[in-house]
């Protein structure tokens, strides 16, 4: 699927922010979620992006990145942005848990929510996103996602889908 022009332009802007902060440590930026799976509804959907960096980020770099990313969400053409940044070594391994560097959410119709640690986050969101990334992501920058993201075994997908259903029933 080809993203709508406004969505593609926003994706390039987000990738530009990532590159401005991370430089050559940015491996790639990718659309996942409804854009990648063909379910995007203009005016209702959010934009799910995943990105990959070459090495762990220090606290100061995370803080600058979060501030710059949240600034871009004002211009998000969708409900909001949900972006998760992973280290390359994590992205390329079979997903088992959340293990991200930064998770940033916000936008015109979405509350701002930032996570600098994956410790307290339900893993299913991130395992499922990485599975979608491996199979269906649309590259904004960097190599094809299947070369960056490891596949997720079917048994683990079923396990985290059950976790997701339990979580959604409770929340």
Residue 138, number of CB atoms within 10 A of its CB: 19
Instruction: Encode pLDDT of 112-141 as tens digits.
Output: 999 998 888 999 999 999 999 999 999 999
Residues ≥6 apart with Cβ < 8 Å to 38: 1
Angle in degrees, CA 171, 43, 35, rounded to 5? 80
What pTM was estimated for this model as a whole? 0.94
- Distance between CA atoms of residues 81 and 94, nearest Å: 25
Instruction: Encode pLDDT of 101-114 as tens digits.
Output: 999 999 999 999 99
DSSP character at residue 153: -
Would you state the structure tokens that stand for residue 69, as one six-digit string? 């990313």
- Give me the torsion for CA of 74, 77, 78, 81, rounded to 10°: -50
């Amino acid at each position: 699927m080809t993203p709508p022009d406004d969505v593609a332009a926003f994706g390039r802007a987000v990738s530009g922010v990532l590159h401005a902060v991370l430089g050559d440590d940015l491996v790639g930026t990718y659309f996942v979620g409804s854009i990648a799976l063909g379910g995007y509804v203009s005016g209702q959907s959010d934009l799910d992006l995943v990105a990959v960096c070459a090495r762990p980020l220090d606290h100061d770099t995370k803080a600058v990145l979060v501030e710059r990313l949240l600034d871009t969400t004002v211009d998000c053409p969708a409900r909001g942005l949900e972006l998760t940044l992973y280290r390359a070594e994590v992205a390329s391994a079979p997903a088992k848990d959340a293990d991200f560097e930064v998770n940033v959410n916000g936008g015109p119709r979405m509350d701002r929510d930032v996570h600098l640690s994956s410790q307290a986050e339900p893993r299913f969101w991130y395992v499922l996103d990485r599975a979608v990334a491996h199979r269906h992501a649309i590259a904004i920058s960097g190599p094809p996602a299947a070369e960056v993201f490891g596949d997720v075994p079917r048994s683990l997908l079923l396990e985290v889908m059950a976790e997701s259903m339990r979580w959604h029933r409770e929340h």
